Amino acid sequence: MTVEAPNPGGMRLPGMAGTGLAPYPHQTTFSVLTLGSGSPELNPARASACTGIQYRGAYYLVDTGNGSALSLLKGGSYGPYRHRDIAGILFTHLHQDHVTDYFDMVTTRWSEGGKRLDLVGPPGTAELHRFLVTFFGDDLRYRLRGGDRAGIDEEGMFRGVDIRELTGSREFQLGGVRVKTAELTHSLLNLAYRFEADGKAVVVSGDTAFDRRLIDLARGADVLVVDANPWADGSAPPPGGAPSHMSLPEVVRVAAEAAVGTVVLTHLWPLPVDEALVRRTQSVFSNGGYSGRVVFAEDGLEVPV
């Protein structure tokens, strides 16, 4: 078992200025993009929660925390990711650090010519989009009037947004990707998502306390992108009510029992991912019986599936 930080085995994607229209040439047809690896506490080195699932050049974003719209623009070494290639946005839950860049993300996508959009999340997701097109209606119509040469029309903003509000365990198709959900334990209703394509699977936990439903959802997954939160030293959450996040030993228990191939630790607080932290993390995972690969997320990291 190895713990990597930064990840030399993934594809590190340095930022690049400019907007660029050519799509980023992903080296694999199925990959995970850690576009926002931070926590609610603002951190200039990390955007808040946003994980991209890339499948055949289409992006399915799980959460759109603050700073994530710029992370997408920074993209890879060959240029930025195109917002218009976002095919779907899925919310785990509706805390601010998971949703606040939705307005910029969707407006930029639409301005670039993005059309039909799948929007998925817990109850309240439709209200978020409705707020965008009503409160910012004049702004959006101003862009629409000036957007003839870009080929934009009402689709992708005022129409053509397919909104699904979910609870519990569900299964549905997004493009060529099969999606399964599980409702987990957090201070708000939290949905974890499993993405399956080409015989492989990625699971994104969102924020959750220990919950066996995550083990069931993640069983046999190639990659688990998991809420690691602040307790990277292995200690338990502080007292004061029911926990809403896992301690690191609980993360290890999920990874080991589900037998996932790679664990990507995200939702990280502003602490240095230094050699001492990596050693402590490796010790906790080893002692917990997990022998797979562990990666500390960083903004702009692509992990092949």
pLDDT in tens, 103-155: 999 999 999 999 999 999 999 999 999 999 999 999 999 988 876 555 789 99
Res 5: pLDDT: 63
pLDDT in tens, 107-117: 999 999 999 99
* Confidence band for 232, pLDDT divided at 50, 70 and 90: very low
Q: Which of 13-27, 77-91, 176-190, 258-272 has the lowest mean pLDDT?
A: 13-27
Query: Between residues 2 and 294, which one has the greater pLDDT?
Result: 294
Q: Are 293 and 1 in contact (CB under 8 A)?
A: yes
Which of 84, 75, 119 shows the shortest CA–CA distance to 99? 119
Q: Percentage of the chain with pLDDT > 70?
A: 86
Average pLDDT of the chain, as a whole number: 88
Query: Between residues 4 and 76, which one has the greater pLDDT?
Result: 4
* Confidence band for 12, pLDDT divided at 50, 70 and 90: very low
Q: Which domains does the chain have, with CATH numbers?
A: 2-12+28-304 (3.60.15.10)
pLDDT in tens, 164-176: 999 999 999 999 9
| pLDDT at 11 exceeding the cut of 70 | no
Q: What is the mean pLDDT of residues 20-36?
A: 83
The three state secondary structure string of 43-100 is: ECCECCCEEEEEECCEEEEECCCCCHHHHHHHCECCECCCHHHEEEEECCCCCHHHHC
